[in-house]
Amino acid sequence: MRKYLLIAFLSMWSAFTLSAQEKSIDPDKLFLQARDLAFDGKRSEARKICEQILAKYPEYTDVITLYGRLYSWDGDYDKARIQLQKAVALSPKYEDPLLGLIDVELWSENYQEALKLAEKGLIDINAKSTPLRLRKARALNNLEQYESAYALVNELMSEKDAEENLLAFAESIRRNMRRQAVGVSSDYDTFFGDISPWYWQSIYYSRLTKALGTVIFRYNNATRFETNGGQFEIDAYPGIGKKMYAYLNAGYSPSSIYPEYRFGGSLYRSFPKAFEGEIGFRYLQFAETTEIYTASLGKYWGSYWFNLRVNIIPFSGTFSQSYIFTGRYYFDTAEDFISLQLSSGVSPDDNSRDLRTQLLDSYRARIGVQKLFGQKYLGFFYTGYAFEETGPANDRRNLNFSLGLSYLF
C-alpha cells in the first residue's frame, strides 16, 4: 500500500513540477530576449529561443515572423519564405509578417512577387502604410518602372516621411529615369574695384545609356579679364552594382582661360544610416600640370542632405587644400530644394571659377533654390559672395549670380 501511495505522490509531484515549469515560461519575455539577440547579431541563439517558444506556442505570430526573418538575414530565403507565409496566413491583417515576406522576395530578386504582395497589403491592410509603399517603390524601381517608383517616393516625401534613406533612394531613381535632357546655365560676377565683370555660359545635352549610365555632353564659354574662351566636356555616371557608381570626366579647351586638358574620376558608395562616401582624382593641364585628390562624405537626414568635401593639391613637397560644405533642404520632390554652400579655396569641378590663379586664401558663401515645374522643366537660381586673396596685399571681392533651366524628356 505504501508503495502505491509513494508512486502516486511522485507522479503528482512530477506533474506539479512540469506544470510549474510550463507556467514559468513567459513567451513574451522570451520573445523580447530573442529579438534583442537578433539585433545584436546573435542569430543562432535567437533562433534557439524562437524554437523553444514555438514548441509550446506554435501560432505565436511575432515569434514566427522573427524566426522567418532570422533565416532571411542569413540568406536562407526558402526557409524564411515558409515561416513568413505561415505567419501571414495566421494573421492576414497584421503588417509585420507581410513586410518580412516582401523583403524576402526583394532580396531574392523576385520583384514581381514583391510588388504583388505590397499592392495586396495596401488594399487589405492599410492604403497609407509608409513601409508598404516604400517596398512597392523598391519593387517598381527594380522592375525599371522608374516613373511610378519616383512618383511614389515623392508622395512619401511630401508627407515629410522621416526615413533617413528616402532622399538617397529618390536620387538613385532620378539618375535612372532621366532618359534625356537639354539645358542652359549662366553665371555673372560683378567685382568691387576695377575688375571687369566675368561672364560664363554653358549648354548641355544628357542621355541615359546602359553601358555608362547618364552621359552628359557640355560646352562652356567664359569671358574673364577681357579674354573669351570655350571648353568641351563629357561626363559619365556608370553604375557599379547596387551600392556604387562612378563619375568620369574629360575636357578639352584651346583657350588659356581653361585647362587645355582635364580628366577626372570618382567612386561613390552608399553606406548604412544613409551615408555616402566618395574618393576621386582630378588632372588639369595648364602651362603646368595640376593634380588634385578629392574626397567627400554625405549624409541624408530626413528632408536634409549634408556634404563635406576636401580637395588636396600637392606641390613642391607640401600641399594646399580646399573645403566645401553643402547643405540642402528638400521640399516635395528630390528635385526641389534650397541650398547653402560655404567654401574655402577653389573647387576643381567649378568651371565658372578661375582655376589658373594661385590664391593665398579664398572664401565663398552661396545660397540658392532649385525647382521642378510640372514634370519637364527644372530651374535653379543661386547668388553668393566671394573673397579671394591674390597676393599679400591684393584681393578681389565679388557678387555672383547663377541661373539655369533644363528640359527633361
344 falls within a domain: yes
12 falls within a domain: no
Instruction: Output the pLDDT for position 12.
Output: 54
Beta-carbon count within 10 A of 136 CB = 23
Same structural domain for residues 114 and 205? no
Same structural domain for residues 298 and 224? yes
Same structural domain for residues 226 and 136? no
157 falls within a domain: no
Q: pLDDT of the chain along its 409 residues, tens only?
A: 555 544 554 455 455 444 444 445 688 999 999 999 998 889 999 999 999 999 999 999 999 999 999 999 999 999 999 999 999 999 999 999 999 999 999 999 999 999 999 999 999 999 999 999 999 999 999 998 988 998 898 888 777 544 556 777 887 787 777 789 999 999 999 999 888 999 999 999 999 888 898 999 999 999 998 899 999 999 999 989 878 999 999 999 999 889 999 999 999 998 888 899 999 999 999 888 889 999 999 998 878 899 999 999 887 677 888 899 999 998 877 789 999 999 998 777 776 666 666 556 789 999 999 998 887 899 999 999 999 887 777 888 999 999 999 998 8
166 falls within a domain: no
Same structural domain for residues 247 and 373? yes
Instruction: Output the pLDDT for position 2.
Output: 54
Same structural domain for residues 130 and 218? no
Q: Which bin fits 131, alpha (ψ -120 to 50), beta or left (φ > 0)?
A: alpha
> What CATH number has the domain bearing residue 275?
2.40.160.40
102 falls within a domain: yes
Structural domains in the chain (count): 2
Measure the CA angle with vertex 89, ends 87 and 93; round to 5°.
90
172 falls within a domain: no
CB 89 within 8 A of CB 66: no
The amino acid at 18: L
Instruction: Output the pLDDT for position 382.
Output: 98
Instruction: Output the pLDDT for position 351.
Output: 67
pTM, whole model, 2 decimals? Answer: 0.72
Of 143, 168, 193, the position where a domain reaches its end is 143
Instruction: Output the pLDDT for position 352.
Output: 66
Same structural domain for residues 78 and 138? yes
Of 119, 143, 167, the position where a domain reaches its end is 143
Q: Quote the domain boundaries for residue 359.
A: 178-408
Could you tell me how many helices (H) and strands (E) the chain has, helices first? 10, 15
CB 82 within 8 A of CB 70: no
Give dist(CA 39, CA 33) in Å, integer.
10
The set of residues, in sequence order, having a beta carbon less than 8 Å from that of 70 and lying 6+ positions away, is 38, 43, 46, 47, 50, 80
Largest Cα–Cα distance in the chain? Answer: 122
> What CATH number has the domain bearing residue 137?
1.25.40.10
Instruction: Outline where 40-184 has alpha helix (H).
Output: 43-56, 61-73, 77-90, 95-107, 111-124, 130-142, 146-158, 166-177
Instruction: Output the pLDDT for position 16.
Output: 46
Of 93, 128, 143, the position where a domain reaches its end is 143
Same structural domain for residues 235 and 367? yes
396 falls within a domain: yes
Same structural domain for residues 136 and 249? no
Instruction: Output the pLDDT for position 177.
Output: 74
Give dist(CA 165, CA 375) in Å, integer.
23
Same structural domain for residues 53 and 134? yes
Instruction: Output the pLDDT for position 164.
Output: 55
